[in-house]
Amino acid sequence: MAELCDLTAADLASKLRAGETSSTEVTESCLARVEAVDERVRAFLARTTELARERAAAADARIAAGDAPSTAGIPIALKDVLSTKDITTTCGSKILESYVPPFDCTPWARLAAAGSVLLGKTNCDEFAMGSSNENSAFGPVHNPWGLDTVPGGSSGGSAAAVAAGEAVWALGTDTGGSVRQPASLCGVVGLKPTYGLISRYGLIAFASSLDTVGTFTRSVRDAAILLSAIAGSDPMDATSLDRTVDDYAEGLDEGVSGLRVGVVKEAFGEGVQPGVRSSIQSALNRLSDMGASIEEASLPHADYALSAYYLIAPSEASSNLARYDGVRYGLRVPGRDSIEMMARTRGAGFGPEVKRRIMLGTYALSAGYYEAYYGQAQKVRTLIIRDYEKAFESFDVLVSPTSPTTAFRIGERADDPLAMYLSDVFTIPANLAGVPAVSIPSGLDEAGLPVGLQVTAPVLGEALVLRVAHALERELAFDAVPPLVAGLAA
């Protein structure tokens, strides 16, 4: 029999309202799982155990009074780039190791008001820069499917926590694939919504035109429920979209009959593992059997997306991270004068990958090179946006692998930045275009590691992308559990 911490949020919400369990029991189940496995997984940077118990008790009282939304009482974990009042928020960096925000990010503020239970803050690549969670200043996260493999990044802690049953669901951020790629590698559902649908207020910035808060869940229905709870306009974020929030759980069961599905041909070239290719092809066959029409689609400029991203994102990071100067908050390393103090602070506080991207971005923005690099990259971004617009004239959704490979061994790509960057080659285009995309598990490869399938829809097409993902999820019936979790029940 499954532990409470291994159930979906939708199932738990039903049990809570039926009086079959309590938020306190669910929370204690999650806390027990954290105690049992997190020394090996290392998903959490900070645990808020007593706060979780207090919030669970309050949620139980609220549910008993009949005054509770569907997210009330469900334990959640937050990526440690999302600000939490009076709780350390480090961004996985030494430079913010002691930073305690005086405010909550909007997504957590909305969940807190709805009665959610916070379990803690999860490990991540430093300032969300990475594809393996090896760039955290506080050590790597280990994938529950194979403790010697990476969980993906940069939101690897959130993905691993949900996969291991340490949290029922979690929030992460997706700048170039940092929700979908770890979701793929950890065998959970990862949703990146349309840019601006979820407020970025309180999200510590990496690349402001790309950063998107996203969700990790055990089912597509859970993703729809969580998205409905945190989406919506926010006067504190000028980039948030001014629109009413849909109930994204409505219409999930409408199926895919008659839908036009485009298979992105550029995502099946060199570098895709055979196990990934065969799993995605099998899923496409199932989609066809369910009544969807399957044809080849093209994003002609997708091959340039990686190059454009690694000019745009580091350029924005160079500007955003200039604030960490040792003067206002965070780490300060003394020097003879302010210039030396700033240099020493940034040298000691930032890790190698963050320094690499700051230098890339600063160079791309420098006099004489701005138009040749950053300007050209923005033109490529426009071409990719047009590619999507053209593709969606012929197709309702696009499908591809989420990642070209399954989880690789910790340290395997540490000395090869380009190989690491290629982990996000299929996820980056959706960030550049701002369109919604979701990754769902499509099966296991020959080594028993999860494969992720990505579904992409037009701007504000969350209802459609979730509907297709839900139909495919039911058809594939992926119910495998990580060996780490299976071992606990043995």
Name which of 119, 87, 127 is nearest 105 in CA terms.
87
All residues at 6 or more sequence positions from 475 whose CB lies less than 8 Å from its CB, including other chains: 286, 287, 290
Secondary structure element (H or E) that encloses residue 183, with its range: helix 180-186
Known catalytic residue: 15?
Answer: no
Name which of 32, 63, 34 is nearest 122 in CA terms.
34
| Active-site position among 22, 79, 121, 131 | 79
Six token digits for residue 14: 């039903």
* Coil, helix or strand at residue 418: helix
| Active-site position among 22, 23, 154, 318 | 154
What are the φ and ψ backbone dihedral angles of 392, each rounded to 5 degrees? -80, -5
Q: What is the dihedral of CA 399, 405, 411, 416, to 10 degrees?
A: -80
Q: Calculate the CA 165 to chain-centre distance.
A: 17
| Active-site position among 155, 158, 178, 228 | 178
Known catalytic residue: 79?
Answer: yes
Known catalytic residue: 93?
Answer: no
Cβ atoms < 10 Å from Cβ of 339: 9
What residue type is assigned to position 392 of the chain? F
Asked if residue 298 has a cis previous peptide bond (ω within 30° of 0), the answer is no
What are the φ and ψ backbone dihedral angles of 104, each rounded to 5 degrees? -100, 145
Contact 252, 224 (CB under 8 A): yes
Contact 170, 473 (CB under 8 A): no
Q: Which residues are catalytic?
A: 79, 154, 178
